[in-house]
């Protein structure tokens, strides 16, 4: 990532790993924390120059192009990870499941955001960049919720990122999750095809609900019941049953598995946003301290070599131990 000073005029030469993308997206990556609206405004005003000429936000940049970036002065308060020093972000490596010169797949722990924003000053990608200052390109391929653990892809080349995004739009790679639902999952609820609508909650948080075909994005999850727990332990806290399910995403909408499970009256155990509040409190007494959702399996063709990759991240110890207690 090129180093710039937001108080001075900067001239950047486009490298291979940044070529073929939109000018505004390139600047959003370079000017961490500057609002997209401001970036598009300085492009349209001519303050940003591409090869000494005016450009549009959607202009495609090429290898060797020179981008002039003016001093950045915005009225909006910039987040700390931009206005402060990068030394405030702790460097951190994460458990590596796969890595080569184009792709990293890590096993993300629960409780860690994938990137800064929305009240979080840094996440996995910022910490990984700090830990690897010699890596010229590290970009998230997709997202995982903060409280979800498991497999997360990070591109080390722009060519890999573009290919992986294309693959994700075409139902590839195969992404499989493990989730524990509060209630009994009915076998007939194997294929859930319910459109989802984003909205803002009362506290300003991002929320999703089931909508209709007109206002919602199509969303499709395939569920398979792996185990059902119903015995003296669950009954002791007033819960009739818990269902361990495998959820395979056919689309990748925000909070898709969480809302689809909620819609079937079997919300994810420990889910503070879409779950059963009273059931979550009871499950805490049994030792469940987090949301039981884990990105377990990825099956994909490597974005550069085409090699078939079959990657797995086993359940974290705290979730496996909880299941073991339920089975006794």
Point out the catalytic residue in the list 18, 65, 145, 276: 145
145 as an active site residue: the answer is: yes
Question: Other C-beta atoms within 10 Å of 153: how many?
Answer: 26
Binning the chain into helix, strand and coil, the percentages to the nearest 5 are 25, 30, 50
DSSP 33-90: TS-HHHHHHHHHTT-SEETTB---TTPBP-TT-EEEE-----SSPPPHHHHS-GGGSP
Cα–Cα distance for residue pair 73/60, rounded to 1 Å: 25
Give the single-character DSSP code of 278.
H
Count the helices and strands in the chain (H runs, E runs). 9, 15
Half-sphere exposure of 136 (CA within 13 A, CB side): 10
Cα–Cα distance for residue pair 150/141, rounded to 1 Å: 14
Phi (first) and psi of residue 308, to 5 degrees: -75, 125
Residues labelled catalytic: 145
């Amino acid at each position: 990532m090129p180093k710039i000073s937001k108080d001075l005029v900067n001239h950047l030469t486009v490298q291979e790993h940044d070529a073929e993308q939109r000018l505004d997206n390139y600047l959003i990556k370079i000017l961490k924390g500057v609002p997209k609206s401001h970036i598009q405004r300085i492009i349209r005003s001519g303050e940003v120059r591409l090869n000494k000429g005016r450009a549009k936000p959607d202009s495609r940049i090429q290898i060797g192009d020179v981008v002039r970036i003016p001093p950045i002065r915005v009225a909006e308060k910039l987040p700390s990870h931009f206005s402060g020093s990068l030394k405030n972000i702790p460097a951190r490596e994460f458990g590596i499941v796969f890595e080569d010169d184009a792709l990293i797949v890590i096993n993300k722990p629960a409780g860690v955001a994938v990137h800064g924003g929305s009240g979080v000053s840094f996440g996995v990608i910022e910490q990984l960049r700090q830990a690897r200052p010699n890596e010229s390109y590290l970009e998230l391929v997709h997202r995982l919720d903060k409280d979800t653990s498991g497999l997360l892809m990070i591109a080390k080349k722009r060519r890999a990122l573009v290919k992986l995004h294309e693959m994700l739009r075409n139902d590839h790679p195969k992404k499989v999750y493990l989730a524990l639902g509060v209630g009994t999952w009915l076998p007939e609820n194997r294929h859930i095809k319910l459109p989802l609508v984003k909205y803002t909650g009362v506290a300003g948080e991002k929320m999703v609900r089931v909508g209709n075909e007109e206002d919602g994005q199509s969303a499709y999850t395939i569920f398979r019941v792996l185990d059902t727990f119903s015995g003296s332990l669950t009954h002791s806290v007033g819960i009739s049953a818990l269902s361990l399910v495998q959820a395979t995403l056919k689309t990748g909408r925000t909070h898709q598995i969480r809302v689809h499970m909620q819609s079937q009256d079997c919300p994810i155990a420990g889910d503070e946003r879409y779950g059963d509040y009273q059931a979550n409190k009871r499950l805490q007494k049994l030792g469940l301290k987090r949301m039981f959702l884990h990105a377990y399996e990825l099956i994909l063709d490597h974005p550069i070599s085409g090699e078939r990759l079959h990657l797995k991240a086993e359940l974290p110890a705290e979730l496996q131990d909880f299941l073991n207690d339920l089975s006794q």
